[in-house]
Amino acid sequence: MRRTPVLGALALAAAPLLAVPSAHAAPSAPPAIVQRHHDASRLVAVEGTVNFRDLGGYETYFHARVRRGVVYRADALDHVTDAGLRKLADLRLDGVVDFRTPLEVSTDGPDRLPAGSRVTARPIDDTGMFATVNAAIGSKDPARQEAVLGDGRGAAIMRTLYRSFVTDPESAAAFGRTLRETADRSRTPMVFHCTSGKDRTGWMSYLLLRAVGVPHRTAMHDYLLSNEYRAETDAAVRARLESSGYMQDAELLKPIQDVRPEYLEAALDEVRREYGSVERYLRKGLGIDGHTRARLRHHLLTRH
């Protein structure tokens, strides 16, 4: 099922890829701001995606490293090509967790995966953002689009979304369950994803890295890499929306497409307000007790 120009141009928390030739171009290398992450090797070349990454390689406070080839984070898998399917088969994924809402799945289609793949649908609420922003785009009305997205309102929408990751009980339950299942999986490879692989997936990745002892600045760095890997595709989406007449100023979408420190900090502000610290949030808010964290570290960390 092909996406319409509007719904294909924007899904939860970002504008996902349209069928543009540049969608799979190699990203430019981001700056090494915390550790030497070798970020160019972090991207996994699954054709039909632009933000499929290995969470391995990051260093913890106690000088262990996250194992490579065990946990992956990704954008939507509904446009995976035949070559991409072969790559997914090579990864030997034993589980896929899909955070997309039913509306996103019905619009964009189900994941395209190797035969026999186990998929867990675990939708995380979007606070109405998908419908609100798509309605504004679909109106083709510059004044309406400005009213929804202009003058900082796009960024405010994103901060509201990120706060809901902490305050919404069902969202918290979904993130906590994914962490516990990761702890129970031993070292069998898995991937979790949403539509653009940056917001729900970004928060999930941040929590997982922090749970095994990766410092905040490093986990923030991983979160911000989506800007590097999605830049070309997102720019193409904006250009397509303008050329097709849906938007006169598609730069209004930039705050929705981006990941920004202020978005992650909006969630962390809620964590600190409700729980005092990430440690207490993991334990009290998500049900990740010491035994679960020990299993996560045993399965995901290496000294080599």
| pLDDT, position 274 | 98
- Report which of residues 147 and 36 the model is more confident about: 147
- The pLDDT of 96-124, averaged and rounded, is 95
Angle subtended by helix axes 216-243 and 261-275, to nearest 10: 130
Residue 24 lies in a domain: no
Judge contact between 222 and 43, C-beta under 8 A.
Answer: no
Number of H helices, E strands in the chain: 12, 7
Residue at 22 is within a domain:
no
Q: 202: domain range?
A: 31-302
Give me the phi and psi of 259, to 5 degrees please.
Answer: -110, 140
The yes-or-no answer on residue 85 being catalytic is no
Note whether residue 117 is domain-resident. Answer: yes
Give the active site residue among 148, 194, 266, 268.
194
How many whole angstroms separate alpha carbon 113 and alpha carbon 98? 12
Mean pLDDT of 215-239: 98
Structural domain contains residue 17: no
Q: Which CATH number covers residue 129?
A: 3.90.190.10
Cα(132)–Cα(138) distance, rounded to whole angstroms? Answer: 10
- Is 23 part of any domain? no
pLDDT of residue 130: 85
Residue 156 lies in a domain: yes
Q: Is residue 47 part of a domain?
A: yes
Phi/psi for 247 (5° steps) reads -140, 140
What local confidence, expressed as pLDDT, does residue 40 receive?
60
Q: Residue 212 above 70 pLDDT?
A: yes
At 39 the pLDDT is: 60
Helix (H) or strand (E) holding 215: none
Mean pLDDT, to the nearest integer, of 29-56? 72
Contacts (Cβ under 8 Å, ≥6 apart) of 31: none
Tokens found for residue 192:
């979790």
Instruction: Lay out the sheet containing 95-98: strands in order across.
Output: 53-54, 71-74, 190-193, 95-98, 119-121
| pLDDT above 70: percentage of residues in the chain | 87
| Per-residue pLDDT reduced to its tens digit, 44-99 | 999 999 999 999 999 999 999 999 999 999 999 999 999 999 999 999 999 999 99
If one counts the domains in the chain, the total is 1
Q: For residue 34, what are the CA distances in angstroms to 19, 73, 150, 221, 269?
A: 34, 20, 33, 7, 22
Mean pLDDT, rounded, for 218-226:
98
**Separation of CA 204 from chain center:** 8
Q: Examine the pLDDT at 27 and tell me if it is beyond 90.
A: no
- Which tens digit of pLDDT belongs to each residue from 126-156? 888 888 999 999 999 999 999 999 999 999 9
* 14 part of a folded domain: no
C-alpha torsion sign, points 17, 20, 25, 29: negative
Average pLDDT score, the chain: 89
pLDDT score, position 259 = 99
Collapsing DSSP states into helix, strand and coil, what is residue 143? helix
Residue 165 has pLDDT above 70, yes or no: yes
> Is pTM, for the whole model, over 0.85?
yes
